[in-house]
Structure 1
Amino acid sequence: MCRSFRWLLLAAVVVLTGCAATGPRYAEVESNFPSLRPGYGRVLVYRPAGMGAAVQPEVRLNGELIGKAQPEGFFFVDRAAGRYTLTVATEVRATADLELADGATVFVQVGISMGLFVGQPRLTVQSPATAMPQLAALAYTGSVPLVAGQARGRQADAALPTGPAPGRAAPPGQVTLDDLSGLLPTR
C-alpha cells in the first residue's frame, strides 16, 4: 500500500510540475512587442499560477483558435478595432465580450476553479494596473516570434502577423500571407 502511494505521489508531482508554461518572461520580451498598426488593438490573454495546472483549454476569439491557456503563461493577438467574444471551454464554457479600441490593449485573465470532472474556466477583463504586476514573471507562449532582450525596429514590426486586414477576414483554419511573413528573417 505504501509503495503504491509513493508511485501515485511521484506521478502527481511529475504531472503538476510539467504543466507550467516555458519560454521567455514578459519582462524580457515586452520591448519586442510589435507596434500596433493603425486601426488595430491588442488582446493579451494570461493565466497566472493557480489550481488546475493540467487543464489547459483552448482560447478562441470570435470562434478562431488563438492559443491555449497555459499556467504561468501569456500570449497576444492583434486585431482590427471592434467587438469580439473571447471563449474558453472545458466541461463548461466561459465567455468575455471585448471592445477593442484603436491602439488599445485589453488584458484578459484566465482562471480555473473546481469543477465536477474538470476545472472550470473563468475570464476576467483586467485593468493594466492589475495585469502588469501579474504579467512580469509569466512566460510567453504565443506564435509571434519574440526574442528576449532584442528590441525590434519599425520595419520588423511590419513583417509580423497581425491578423486579417480590416474588412478582410481569412476563412477559419486558413493561413494568409500575413501569417507567414512573421516567419521570414528580417533584413
Structure 2
Amino acid sequence: MRRTALKLAVLTVMTIAIAGCAVTGTKYQDMSGTIPKVKPGEGRIFFFRAATPYGSALQPLIRLDKVVVGASKSGGFFYVDRPAGTYQAATMSDLRKTLGISLEAGETKYVRMSPSFGLVTGGIVLDMEPAEKARPELASLAYTGQVIIDK
C-alpha cells in the first residue's frame, strides 16, 4: 500500500513537471502563410525539437555566433534569417560543442535540437537535418520565437 502511494506521488509530480514544460503557441502548419519571405541576400535557419517528454526540462538558450537567437523547447521551433555566410550554432549550456552552418542566399537549413544524457548531466545536441526529413516534422511543432507582426 505504501509503495503504491509513493509510486502514485512520483507519477503525479512527473506529470506536472512534464506538463509545465509543454510548449504552447501557433503550430507551423497554421502559420506557414504568415512567415515572411527571406530577404534577398539572406538565408533562413530553422531550429526545431521534437515533442517528447524525454529531456523536456532541458531548455537551454541557443546561440548563433555570439547572439542568442532562441531556446530549445520540446515540441517547438523558431527560425532566424541571416546574410549568406558561415555561422557557428551552440547551446548556452555547452559552448564548446558547436555546429558549423554554411548558409547561401535564398537557402533554408534545418537544425534538429535533441536531448542527450551523459553519465552525470544532460544537454541538447545540435545536428543538421535534411529538408525532406525536417519539413514534415516541423508542421506539428509550435512557434517559440519572437512574435511575427505583419506590416
Q: Give the match for residue 24 of structure 2.
A: 22
2:113 to 110, 115, 118: 110
Q: For the residues of structure 1 that align with 2:22 and 2:116, how far apart are their CA atoms?
A: 17
1:11 pairs with 2:13: yes
Quick check: 1:44–1:107 contact (8 Å CA) kept in 2? yes
CA distance 1:92–1:63, shift in 2 (3 Å): closer
SS, match of residue 113 in structure 1 = strand
- The one-letter code sitting in structure 2 at the alignment partner of 1:106 is K
Moved over 6 A (4+): none
Q: For the residues of structure 2 that align with 1:92 and 1:65, how far apart are their CA atoms?
A: 12
CA distance 1:112–1:92, shift in 2 (3 Å): farther
Larger deviation, residues 93-102 vs 105-114: 93-102
Structure 2 gaps of 5+ residues are: none
Q: For the residues of structure 2 that align with 1:14 and 1:115, how far apart are their CA atoms?
A: 25
More strand, by proportion: 2
Aligned length: 148
Quick check: 1:63–1:87 contact (8 Å CA) kept in 2? no
Q: Report the CA distance between 1:92 and its aligned residue.
A: 7.6
- The one-letter code sitting in structure 1 at the alignment partner of 2:135 is M
2:40 to 28, 38, 41: 38
Q: Report the CA distance between 1:40 and its aligned residue.
A: 0.6
Quick check: 2:75–2:142 contact (8 Å CA) kept in 1? yes
Structure 1 gaps of 5+ residues are: 147-155, 157-185
Larger deviation, residues 65-74 vs 46-55: 46-55
Q: Where do residues 20-169 of structure 1 align in structure 2 (5 Å cutoff)?
A: 20-50=22-52, 51-90=54-93, 93-145=96-148, 156=150
Q: For the residues of structure 1 that align with 2:147 and 2:62, how far apart are their CA atoms?
A: 16
CA distance 1:42–1:117, shift in 2 (3 Å): same
Q: For the residues of structure 2 that align with 1:68 and 1:25, how far apart are their CA atoms?
A: 16
SS, match of residue 32 in structure 1 = coil
- The one-letter code sitting in structure 2 at the alignment partner of 1:32 is T
SS, match of residue 32 in structure 2 = helix
SS, match of residue 127 in structure 2 = strand
TM-score for both structures, normalised by structure 2? 0.89
Q: Give the match for residue 153 of structure 1.
A: none
- The one-letter code sitting in structure 1 at the alignment partner of 2:43 is G
Q: For the residues of structure 2 that align with 1:118 and 1:143, how far apart are their CA atoms?
A: 29
Q: For the residues of structure 2 that align with 1:26 and 1:59, how far apart are their CA atoms?
A: 20
SS, match of residue 6 in structure 1 = helix
Q: Report the CA distance between 1:89 and its aligned residue.
A: 4.3
